[in-house]
Structure formats: structure tokens, C-alpha cells
Amino acid sequence: MNLREKAGYYFLQKGYKPNTTKRRAVNFHDVQSLVIVCSARDEEEAREKVQFAQVIRKNWAIPKVRIVCLVDTRKEQEWFSQYSGVQFIVGSELNWYYKPKQAPVKDHVDLLVSIDMEPSIAATFTSVITKAKMKVSPWSELTAPYFDFFIKLNKDNTLNEFIKQTEHYLKLINNKARAHETV
């Protein structure tokens, strides 16, 4: 972790209290709005994560899905235009300790899913400032105070496995209550 990232986590801990907004567990079938957050060091990683996010958008059939991808580059790239419906955030839109200068998502959403297998301070800041009823992430000690639900994976697990497990557990949440409502 470089000095800027350490400063980012310091300011995140100082400036944002963990889980201060009212949270609630959200069942997969009740989700009407979803934000998928990811970060990428290069074009190849960004393309891979955006493609996974688009698969989630298609397969999960949630009415409102936003994809926010933070890319480690100073300015917008030509290939960004190939992905409609994806909001790319570049280095010039972040301050010196990787906090977005403007909130990428201003609306309240039902669910936020961070698909970063390795924690990223920029993606964590984005997730923290997004108002969501429930926030899901792969387990990380660095980001634990800022998310509500974690999927703990082995070191050899993939992003695809994380997505499958996330969907599985979100379908189980509040499922018993839903069963009683339909009777």
C-alpha cells in the first residue's frame, strides 16, 4: 500500500463513521435498484470487471442497475465509449487520497455490490458515500466497517464464484418472512 492509499484509509476512518445510515437486510427478489462498484489498474482488468457487472445486470433482472468503474488512468480513454450504461471514474476525478470529488451515485439504492477481490481505497470511498440499504463486498479487514454483508472466499476463488455466492445468500436473506407473506 502506497502513501496515498494509507492517507486515504486514514481520512476514511476519520471522516466516515461505519454504518451510520439506517441499514436493513434486502432479499434478492425485493431489490429494485443496484449499484455495482469496481476498480481497475488497467484496461484489461477494467474490461473484465465491467463484463462481469454487465452479466449481473442481465442475469439478475433488477430494474435499475448502475455500474461505477474506477480506472487508474488520468483521463478518459477511447474504449470507455464501448460500454454504455457504465460510469467510468478516472484519476482526475479523484482527490489526492483517492476520494471522488463528486458522489458518483446521488440516489438512494437498495443494494450496492463491490466486486473488487482486493480492496481499493477509491472503490471503498465510492461505496461509503453511496446511500444504500445494504452493501455487499468480499471480506477484507480494511473495508469491514463500511459494508454490511461479506462473502469470505478462499485465495483461489474467482470473481465468478463471488457473484454466485452473493446471489445465493441474497436469495436466502429474509426468505422465511417472504414465505409467510405469500401464504
State if pTM tops 0.85. yes
Number of other CB atoms surrounding residue 141 within 10 Å: 7
Q: Report pLDDT digits (tens) over 101-155.
A: 999 999 999 999 999 999 899 999 999 999 999 999 999 998 888 999 999 988 8
| Calpha distance 20→114 (Å, rounded) | 19
pLDDT at 157 over 60: yes
* C-alpha–C-alpha distance, residues 120 and 125, integer Å: 9
pLDDT at 22: 65
- Check residue 20 and give its pLDDT: 56
| Pairwise CA distance, residues 19 & 130, whole Å | 12
**CATH topology for 3-182?**
Rossmann fold (3.40.50)
Q: What is the pLDDT of residues 5-34, one digit of tens each?
A: 899 989 888 887 665 556 678 888 889 999
Average pLDDT, stretch 44-54? 91
Average pLDDT for the chain: 87
Mean pLDDT, residues 58-73:
91
Cβ distance 134 to 147 under 8 Å?
no
What is the model's pLDDT at position 16? 76
Check whether 64 has a pLDDT greater than 90: yes
User: 178 vs 137, which has greater pLDDT?
Assistant: 137
Instruction: Compute the average pLDDT of residues 157-168.
Output: 90
